[in-house]
Amino acid sequence: MINKIKAVLVLYGKEVLKSEEFANAFKQTHHACSTVADHSLGVAVIAIAISMFLIHIHVKIELRYVVIAALCHDLGIIGRYEKYKNNIECCKRHPVDSVDVYRKIFGESNERIEDSIRNHMWPLTPVPPRYIEGVILTIADKVSATMEKIGVAPMRKLELAPIRFA
């Protein structure tokens, strides 16, 4: 199963994984023991696993959107200590800034991907995600962040480091 998850991650995530923004995300720590990029990879892996299960039971999901939204969802947080006054402003603003990073990497807009990124902090921000891809991202983000906080970084377990350079 993990090889299938890795294949999906590279297939749909290659534009993000190769981007300068994602390379910079390895330089900023996140959730105490991770980096923004390692966290994003962890979220993507968990989101793909959830999606594969739901697709198996015939839930209609755009897997490509799940992968792109997961990899981009926190890229707007890069430079947080210079950009935001405090954690509350960071919580509200970084999803919106992450949408801008998504548009910069892809040069296009996509309502489902952007809504998923914009509302991934729900329920800490007031608007819930409108699409299934966003619901999956919201859950995967909390699972990965909690695992990182208790010292179980999913990326170290899954040996996904080579994907950084795909």
Nearer to Fe ion, 4 or 128 (CB): 128
Give yes or no for a contact between 98 and 75, defined as CB atoms under 8 angstroms apart. yes
The residue among 155, 162, 137, 166 whose CA lies nearest residue 61 is 137
Check residue 12 and give left, alpha or beta (phi > 0: left; psi -120 to 50: alpha).
Answer: alpha
Selected from 62, 97, 114, 141, the binder of Fe ion by CB under 5 A is: 141
| Interacting span for Fe ion (CB under 5 A) from 2-10, 21-29, 70-78, 149-157 | 70-78
Nearer to Fe ion, 59 or 124 (CB): 124
Site for Fe ion contains 97 (CB under 5 A): no
The residue among 27, 7, 4, 24 whose CA lies nearest residue 16 is 24
- What is the chain's alpha carbon radius of gyration, rounded to the nearest angstrom? 14
| Interacting span for Fe ion (CB under 5 A) from 54-62, 71-79, 124-132, 146-154 | 71-79
Site string for Fe ion, 16-55 (x = CB under 5 A): ----------------------------------------
Hunting for tokens 């909690």 — which residue is that? 146
| Interacting span for Fe ion (CB under 5 A) from 13-21, 129-137, 138-146, 155-163 | 138-146
Q: For residue 163, give the DSSP letter.
A: G
Q: Which residues bind Fe ion (CB under 5 A)?
A: 74, 141
